[in-house]
Amino acid sequence: MMRVLFAGLGNMGGPMAKNLLSQGVSVTVYNRSAPATDWFSTHGATVASSPSEGAQEADVIMTMLSDDRAVEQVLLDPHTGCIQSARPGTLVIDSSTVSPQLSRRLSQSFATKGVAVLDAPVTGSAPQAIDGTLTFIVGGAKEDFERARPLFNAMGRQAFYVGAAGTGSTVKLANNTMVALNLMAVVEGLSIVETAGIDAELFLDIIAGGGAQNGMAMSKRKKLLANRFDADFAMHLMLKDLRLAGDVAGQWEIPLPGLALATTLYQVGCRTGEAQQDLSALRTTYRKLAGQQSLLTSLNGQGMADQ
């Protein structure tokens, strides 16, 4: 039986690890916040006290973490990281959204230990993680992709191999740039009709049949209409991804004015109180922009502190 260490049990990683368990995979879990492991300890998983301990007997190490720093700590820390105890032949699958540079560095660092690495971020958020309908975007060696396919099938509906180390992360950042811009388009349309006194639900029904429809209009419909923005994908995480995409664009000297605008708007949203809410709370940010005094009050209340 394949033995998997799963590190990172948040909104995404928790459901993914549960889906592996439900498919009969032998799972060890690690999470920096211990309470997240409670369910797993009573449902057949082993709980590791450190990434290094969890990696000792693992055939596959899988991570779903918030950012580059967290991934480096879990995988590369010189004292407690997985790299200290991973055995030759182990496969590392990082499904976090991180910089392509880190993905390539992980591949190079683990290669010295005889360990292969795939960067395998996902499209979809918490509902798709729960339902097991994620899409994996995978960079690394093709033979390692094929080796990991049963795990991808246990957690998602499809997996795409896109190329060498770092390409999965690059494609994910391009994807999230489009997500941010698509949501901006929906919110701007809603701003027009709301100001005109036209029903927002009727507007979303109308665009569903034409070229203005997009994935954000469908997936965020309930949140936008209810004005309830509990986080499936928090705004501060989208801002992090947009900044990473901006770094890639800067390295390649690609002019991306839409990305620059989206980054600014999500930064405003984070600074005015929406950082921990779902990215669809950009709707609230636009409402604040429409009333400049309330926006200035919110900014002053935050002390312009970047979140």
Tens-place pLDDT, residues 37-48? 999 999 999 999
Confirm or reject CATH 1.10.10.60 for domain 170-302, answering yes or no: no
CA distance 162 to 178: 18
Which pLDDT score, from 0 to 100, does residue 221 have? 97
Q: Is 172 known to be catalytic?
A: yes
Burial readout 144-165 (b: 16 or more C-beta within 10 A, e: otherwise): bbebbeebbebbbeebebbeeb
Domain edges within the chain: 3-163, 170-302
Query: How large is the average pLDDT for residues 296-300?
Result: 54
Burial 21-39, CB ≥16 within 10 A → b, else e: beeebbbbbbbeeeebbee
User: Does residue 24 carry a pLDDT above 80?
Assistant: yes
- pLDDT bin (cut points 50, 70, 90) of residue 34 is confident
* pLDDT for position 1: 75
Domain 3-163 -> CATH class: alpha beta
Catalytic entry in 18, 113, 172, 222: 172
- Cβ 76 vs Cβ 106: under 8 Å: yes
pLDDT at residue 296 greater than cutoff 80: no
